[in-house]
Homo-oligomer: A and B are copies of this chain.
Amino acid sequence: MRNRRVTLINRPTDIPLPEHFSLDEVEIPALADGEFLVRNLFLSVDPAQRGWALAESNYSNPVPLGAAMRALAIGEVIASLDPEVNVGERLYGWFDWQEFCVCGRDKVLRYIDTSVVPLSGHASLLGINGMAAYLGLVQSGRPQEGDAILVSTAAGSVGSFVGQIARNLGCHPYGLTSTAEKVKVCTERYGYECAIPYSDQGWTLKLANVAQKGFNVFFDNVGGRFLDTALRQMAVGGRIVQCGTASVSSWANEPSGPRNEREILVRRLNWAGFVVFDHIAQFDHAAKVLTRWFAQGKIVYDEDICYGLEDAPSAISGLYAGSNNGKKLISLQ
């Protein structure tokens, strides 16, 4: 049996583009004891994939050249030599950008139960996006009822959940987003009190007006000048959750910015890096809360699904251009 894969063939220095990938076809190896064969149903497209493709290791090693692009996916077990993993079971895990994946249980992040949340929702609401939004906000942001919560990329696959979770916890979420259409979806669908488009020339002034008593939490996915500005609008004792740095296109030449240590001291900020994979032990708890909210109609998710492996190579750069509306998935069904 043959396996079609999207492999990384050139290492990007910034955002991975179609030219960095190639489609190939290889033979699927035989299963060893304890292994099983997954057929991928939905491939996940995530901003973090940029970091995985770069030469410098960040919190994980770079994807080797010639290997299938590292990715999360939802798949179905079609053969198994692991007595605890059954054929027909559906899983969410590290199955990469390919049609099939031979792997062991170490690649599984969650076992999927579709009784409440539909299958594809397990790659967004109950995938790393929902997990990062919930665990990053609750554990690192430590929101109190009534807190003002600022979120960057507020309409994105993580930000869309942070707004709703903040609202469900009795907080007041404010968003930074790219366009007027995304402002609309932030306020009408994702629970935000208001959202400010970066494109608006007066966004820094608007942010200062919105802040009033300062933000208690800043859930930041972008870094750069947005972070610089927001940091200076934090309330005393505020928490910054650094979940991503998407606005800074390259770290190779040590980009500079205003010094922040005085602000951190005087405002008594707490600024913490958050990598969702450090918190896998809490995934079940977070999924339980998010599933209950979903059943109660208190949280929604949006998807932007395209079809076929061929669409994968351009998908990461599409995310960074903000062309997706909702979680970007590639369906292989």
Chain A residues proximal to chain B, CB less than 8 Å: 58-59, 220, 223-224, 227, 236, 242-245, 248, 251, 254-262, 264-275, 278
Interface hub of A223, A242, A270, A273 (most chain B Cβ within 10 A): A273
| Interface residue from B220, B244, B259 paired with A248 (Cβ < 8 Å) | B259
Known: A223-B265, A245-B261, A255-B259. 10 other contacts (CB 8 A): A59-B268, A224-B261, A242-B264, A244-B265, A251-B259, A254-B259, A256-B258, A257-B257, A264-B273, A270-B272
Shortest C-beta distance, A236 to chain B (Å), equals: 8
On whether the beta carbons of A223 and B258 are closer than 8 Å, the reply is no
On whether the beta carbons of A261 and B59 are closer than 8 Å, the reply is no
Shortest C-beta distance, A218 to chain B (Å), equals: 11
Shortest C-beta distance, A213 to chain B (Å), equals: 16
On whether the beta carbons of B264 and A272 are closer than 8 Å, the reply is yes
On whether the beta carbons of A258 and B255 are closer than 8 Å, the reply is yes
Listed from nearest, the 8 A-B pairs whose CB atoms lie closest are A223-B261, A265-B273, A268-B273, A264-B273, A271-B271, A270-B272, A58-B266, A242-B265
Shortest C-beta distance, A320 to chain B (Å), equals: 16
A/B interface sample: 25 pairs, CB < 8 A = A58-B266, A223-B259, A223-B262, A242-B264, A243-B265, A245-B261, A245-B262, A245-B265, A248-B261, A251-B259, A251-B262, A255-B259, A256-B257, A257-B259, A264-B272, A264-B273, A265-B274, A268-B272, A268-B275, A269-B272, A269-B273, A270-B271, A270-B272, A270-B273, A271-B272
Bound: A59/B272 CA distance, A? 22
Bound: A267/B273 CA distance, A? 7
Bound: A58/B245 CA distance, A? 29
Shortest C-beta distance, A193 to chain B (Å), equals: 25
On whether the beta carbons of A254 and B261 are closer than 8 Å, the reply is no
What residue in chain B is nearest A239 (Cβ atoms)? B272
On whether the beta carbons of A59 and B275 are closer than 8 Å, the reply is no
Bound: A77/B227 CA distance, A? 50
Which chain B residues lie closer than 8 Å to A227 at the CB level?
261
Bound: A278/B265 CA distance, A? 12
Bound: A271/B238 CA distance, A? 12
Shortest C-beta distance, A61 to chain B (Å), equals: 13
Which chain B residues lie closer than 8 Å to A220 at the CB level?
261
Which chain B residues lie closer than 8 Å to A255 at the CB level?
258-259
Which chain B residues lie closer than 8 Å to A273 at the CB level?
264-270
On whether the beta carbons of A268 and B274 are closer than 8 Å, the reply is yes
Bound: A265/B251 CA distance, A? 13
Shortest C-beta distance, A9 to chain B (Å), equals: 25
Bound: A220/B262 CA distance, A? 12
Interface hub of A59, A242, A244, A251 (most chain B Cβ within 10 A): A242
Shortest C-beta distance, A8 to chain B (Å), equals: 20
Bound: A219/B254 CA distance, A? 24
Which chain B residues lie closer than 8 Å to A274 at the CB level?
265, 268
On whether the beta carbons of B268 and A270 are closer than 8 Å, the reply is no
| Interface residue from B254, B265, B269 paired with A258 (Cβ < 8 Å) | B254
Bound: A243/B259 CA distance, A? 15
